[in-house]
């Protein structure tokens, strides 16, 4: 089996973002890392591969020179191969354009005789959070799509995928080839070993960039706003404890927590 995991390099989301003088996010000083959801996708498919005892995992990123470190990081925790795409068309893209770039890149690989039984994407990226790329890619490829997977296993001629729902989960069977977007499973991605880190440095990174891309822009970000940090929670100060408890329960019922 061949698997493709699309990964994006994003600014570390544990750091508070501020706006620079012209009102756009100041990302200069923030370390770059692999989008968390993409690391979940890579871990999930690595586990499938380990259980099956066979399979090849390729990671693909659209990104500049710095994105090489994201690919190396993936190569140290399960990926066998890595490919990067980068040219002028890839700058300042939004979700729609990105899915077009991915689609055109992957189509070329398919034409060249490669085959992907499953293409995995993170449910969303932690920077722009549009959550559209995986779904748009599936649509363009004409592949089956499962979103928000929290676990998966190989099953008959496809995969059994557990999908997160509003109040729990459901298990779907999906045939190959398919696109699966991955949410946070109930495990954490593995740590690289020092050995795998050192090995990843020497692995080749393929260049899958096409000569040209046809991309259509859609909604583009016009302005940014940083909201003041939330004060911790809501204060409930009724006359006595019993009233405070009643109020708290009422709020939780209203907010559908209970």
Which residues form the interface with other proteins (CB under 8 A)? 69, 72-73, 76, 191-195, 197-198, 201
Nearest residue (CB) to other proteins, 73 versus 132:
73
Q: If DSSP codes are grouped into helix, strand and coil, which group holds residue 59? A: strand
Distance CA 69, CA 48 (A): 24
Q: Cβ of residue 193: shortest distance to other proteins, in angstroms?
A: 5
In 3D space, the residue among 215, 184, 226 whose CA is nearest the CA of residue 24 turns out to be 226
Quick one: which H or E segment has residue 77? none
Smaller CB distance to other proteins: residue 198 or 250?
198
Q: Please, what is the minimum distance in Å from the beta carbon of residue 14 to other proteins?
A: 11
| Of residues 77 and 119, the one with the C-beta less far from other proteins | 77
Q: Determine which helix (DSSP H) or strand (DSSP E) holds 20, and give its type and residue range.
A: none
195: enclosing H helix or E strand: helix 194-202
> Least distance (Å) from other proteins to the CB of residue 235?
23
Closer CB to other proteins, 34 or 98, in the complex: 34
Question: Least distance in Å: CB of 151 to other proteins?
Answer: 22
Nearer to other proteins, 15 or 253 (CB): 15
As measured in angstroms, the least distance from the Cβ of 9 to other proteins is: 15
Is the separation of the CB atoms in 180 and 146 below 8 Å?
A: yes
Residue 215: how many CB atoms within 10 A of its CB?
Answer: 17
Q: Which residues, 6+ apart, have CB-to-CB distance to 220 below 8 Å?
A: 92, 94
Nearest approach, Cβ of 42 to other proteins (angstroms)? 16
Burial environment of residue 184 by CB neighbours within 10 A (0 to 12, 13 to 18, 19 or more): middle
Q: Which residues pair with 163 in a beta bridge?
A: 149, 170
Judged by CB, which is closer to other proteins: 170, or 201? Answer: 201
């Amino acid at each position: 089996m061949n698997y493709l995991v699309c990964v994006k390099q994003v600014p570390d989301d544990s750091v508070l973002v501020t706006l620079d003088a012209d009102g756009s996010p100041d990302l200069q000083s923030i370390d770059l890392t692999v989008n968390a959801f993409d690391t979940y996708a890579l871990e999930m498919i690595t586990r499938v591969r380990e259980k099956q005892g066979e399979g090849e995992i390729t990671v693909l990123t659209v990104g500049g020179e710095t994105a090489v470190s994201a690919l190396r990081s993936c190569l140290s925790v399960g990926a066998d191969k890595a490919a990067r795409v980068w040219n002028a068309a890839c700058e300042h893209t939004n979700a729609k354009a990105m899915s077009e770039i991915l689609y055109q890149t992957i189509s070329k690989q398919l034409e060249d005789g490669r085959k992907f039984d499953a293409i995995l994407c993170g449910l969303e990226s932690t920077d722009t959070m549009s959550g559209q790329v995986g779904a748009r890619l599936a649509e363009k490829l004409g592949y089956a799509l499962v979103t928000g997977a929290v676990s998966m296993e190989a099953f008959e001629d496809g995969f059994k995928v557990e999908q997160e729902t509003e109040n729990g989960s459901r298990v779907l069977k999906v045939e190959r080839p398919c696109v699966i977007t991955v949410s946070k499973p109930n495990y954490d991605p593995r740590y690289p070993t020092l050995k795998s880190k050192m090995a990843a440095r020497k692995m080749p990174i393929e260049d899958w960039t096409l000569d040209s891309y046809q991309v259509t822009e859609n909604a583009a970000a016009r302005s940014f706003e940083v909201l003041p940090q939330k004060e911790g929670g809501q204060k409930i100060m009724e006359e006595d404890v019993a009233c405070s408890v009643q109020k708290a329960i009422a709020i939780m019922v209203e907010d559908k927590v209970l």
